[in-house]
């Protein structure tokens, strides 16, 4: 019996981008090619014949990377463009059909063509749901933010005059270091050409921060009696502060914040040390934060899967740069205004003193 029901058009969907993985033979062949764009073009032509679909519906940005779970296999990125008319199958329909063909490659026409036969059928053409994969980390992040907000208001209630914003500054420093380290350990190997630059701009700034922290703390103990008295009451603090400050020189500022009115957060640093911290943080922007941001941009342009971890790195890096530029610029401006006022007062006092001397001489 011939059906008289009207043809149902699939629901419209926007362009869909997914990954497919080549088997070891295909990965080896792909890596040996001088012009890898030919591989992409040939496999797209084969897809258009097998599905079948207009060749213009399947495109690629030419991005590829080694699969982190199977380093000998290559991941390729393809995009199914949205339909231009209601009579064309939706991008989601094509995406699903291609995924089914790959999963059953041995029984489909994919295995009969030169390039499509090199696809690894054990890894379907899919979009990874990074939200679901990293949901526990997102929950931890949200819970941490709630805890920090509660701590901030508790600190503000306990000591309104303290620099309570240090709670967020310290948390941001720790979080930035954690995501940078996570990226270095788990993600940067996807782009071999970025491994060495990433390690250089991760290790060297922390070594510099460590040396500055040692210089500050030792000089304060030796030359600042008030700091020496404060430190002598907390003898185990020096080593902890030194290690903590290796993450970022700004971490020392937490000790001067007077949080909760606790003595441990009331370190009497000299102006010399405060200046070193201020300018050290500026140097750190150009020695670590901006290079790390550039590395993230290069990483984004070099991979086909930009997931939650590098996204968190670039967000964290941006927040750190904003914090340092805005707050430290404000501190530098305040410091400059203070020195300007001191100079003006000094000049005024000298003028008054000179005038007093002349007045005394005229009365003699």
90-104 pLDDT per residue, tens: 888 888 888 889 989
Q: Which of 88, 118, 148 is the last residue of a domain?
A: 118
Kindly state the tokens that stand for 306: 């930009």
Residue ending a domain, choose from 118, 150, 177:
118
Report which of 309, 292, 289, 316 is spatially closest to residue 176, judged by C-alpha positions. Answer: 316
* pLDDT band, residue 3 (cuts 50/70/90): very low
pLDDT tens-digit map of 293-314: 899 888 888 776 666 778 778 8
Q: Are residues 155 and 219 located together in one domain of the fold?
A: yes
Residue 227 in any domain: the answer is yes
What is the number of domains present in the chain?
A: 2
- Identify whether residues 143 and 108 lie together within a single domain: no
Residues near 47 by beta carbon (within 8 Å), at least 6 away in sequence:
53, 58, 98, 116
C-alpha closest to that of 20 among 35, 38, 34, 40: 40
Q: Which domain holds residue 303?
A: 130-339
* Residue carrying the six token digits 């995501």: 179
Same domain, 143 and 232: yes
Write the DSSP symbol of residue 16: E
Kindly state whether residues 143 and 211 are assigned to the same domain.
yes
A 10 A CB-CB count for 70 gives 16
In 3D space, the residue among 116, 128, 123, 126 whose CA is nearest the CA of residue 40 turns out to be 116
162 in a domain, yes or no? yes
Count other C-beta atoms under 10 Å from residue 206's C-beta. 20
Inside any domain, residue 354: no
Is 250 part of a structural domain of the chain?
Answer: yes
Of the pLDDT bands very low, low, confident and very high (cuts 50, 70, 90), residue 4 is very low
Query: Domain check: are 40 and 143 in the same one?
Result: no
In the prediction, which pLDDT does 201 show? 92
Q: Are residues 180 and 37 in the same domain?
A: no
5 part of a folded domain: no
CA angle 174, 180, 182 (to 5 degrees): 100
Both 112 and 261 in one domain: the answer is no
CA angle 209, 213, 215 (to 5 degrees): 120
Task: Single out the residue in 55, 85, 118 at which a domain terminates.
Answer: 118
Bond into 52 cis (ω within 30): yes
- What is the reported pLDDT for 360? 45
Residues 154 and 90 in one domain: no
Write out the H or E segment, with its range, that includes residue 58: strand 58-59
Tokens 């005394």 identify what position? 360
Is pLDDT of 14 > 90?
no
Q: How far apart are CA 307 and CA 320, in angstroms?
A: 20
Residue 116 near residue 110, CB atoms below 8 Å: yes
Q: Do 81 and 138 share a domain, yes or no?
A: no
- Give bridge partners of residue 21 from the DSSP assignment: 75
Residues pairing with 66 in the sheet: 74
As a whole number of angstroms, the distance between CA 21 and CA 70 comes to 10
- How many angstroms separate the CA atoms of 130 and 123, rounded? 17
Same domain, 51 and 173: no
107 and 148 within one domain:
no
- For residue 89, what are its two tokens? 């199958």
Residue 363 pLDDT exceeds 70: no
- Residue 290 maps to a domain: yes
pLDDT-derived band of residue 349, with 50, 70 and 90 as boundaries?
Answer: low
CB 78 within 8 A of CB 44: yes
pLDDT at 1 over 50: no
- Four-CA torsion 346, 348, 352, 353, nearest 10 degrees: 20
Residue 185 lies in a domain: yes
Residue 12 has pLDDT above 70, yes or no: no
Given a contact cutoff of 8 angstroms between Cβ atoms, the answer to whether 288 and 321 are in contact is no
- Would you call 92 helix, strand, or coil by DSSP? helix
Average pLDDT of the chain to the nearest whole number? 81
Q: Considering the domain boundaries, does residue 58 fall inside one?
A: yes
| Helix, strand, coil % over all residues of the chain, rounded to 5 | 70, 5, 25
- Predicted confidence (pLDDT) at residue 76 exceeds the cutoff of 50: yes
Mean pLDDT of 63-83: 86
If asked whether residues 24 and 58 sit together in one domain, one would say: yes
């Amino acid at each position: 019996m011939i059906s008289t029901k009207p043809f149902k058009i699939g629901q419209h969907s926007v362009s869909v981008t997914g990954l497919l993985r080549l088997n070891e033979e295909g990965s080896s062949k792909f890596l040996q090619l001088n012009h890898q764009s030919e591989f992409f073009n040939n496999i797209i032509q084969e897809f258009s014949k097998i599905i079948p679909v207009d060749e213009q519906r399947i495109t690629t940005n030419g991005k590829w990377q080694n699969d982190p779970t199977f380093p000998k296999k290559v991941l390729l990125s393809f995009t199914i463009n949205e339909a231009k008319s209601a009579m064309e199958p939706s991008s989601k329909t094509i995406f699903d059909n291609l995924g089914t063909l790959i999963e059953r490659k041995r029984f489909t026409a994919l295995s009969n063509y030169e390039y499509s036969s090199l696809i690894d059928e054990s890894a379907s053409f899919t979009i990874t749901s990074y939200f679901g994969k990293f949901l526990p980390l997102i929950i931890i992040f949200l819970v941490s933010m709630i805890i920090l907000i509660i701590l901030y208001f508790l600190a503000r209630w306990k000591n309104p005059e303290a620099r309570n914003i240090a709670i967020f500054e310290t948390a941001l420093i720790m979080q930035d270091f954690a995501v940078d380290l996570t990226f270095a350990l788990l993600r940067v190997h996807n782009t071999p050409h970025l491994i060495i630059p990433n390690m250089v701009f991760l290790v060297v700034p922390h070594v510099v921060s460590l040396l500055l922290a040692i210089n500050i703390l030792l000089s304060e103990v030796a030359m600042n009696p008030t700091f020496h008295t404060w430190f002598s009451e907390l003898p185990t603090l020096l080593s902890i502060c030194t290690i903590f400050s290796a993450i970022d020189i700004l971490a020392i500022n937490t000790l001067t914040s007077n949080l909760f009115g606790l003595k441990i957060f009331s370190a009497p640093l000299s102006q010399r040390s405060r200046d070193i911290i201020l300018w050290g943080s500026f140097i750190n922007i150009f020695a670590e934060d901006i290079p790390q941001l550039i590395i993230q941009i290069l990483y984004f342009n070099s991979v086909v899967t930009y997931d939650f971890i590098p996204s968190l790195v670039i967000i964290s890096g941006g927040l750190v740069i904003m914090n340092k530029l805005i707050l430290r610029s404000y501190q530098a401006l305040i410091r400059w205004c203070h020195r300007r006022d001191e100079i003006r007062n000094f000049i005024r006092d000298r003028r008054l003193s000179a005038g007093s001397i002349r007045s005394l001489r005229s009365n003699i």
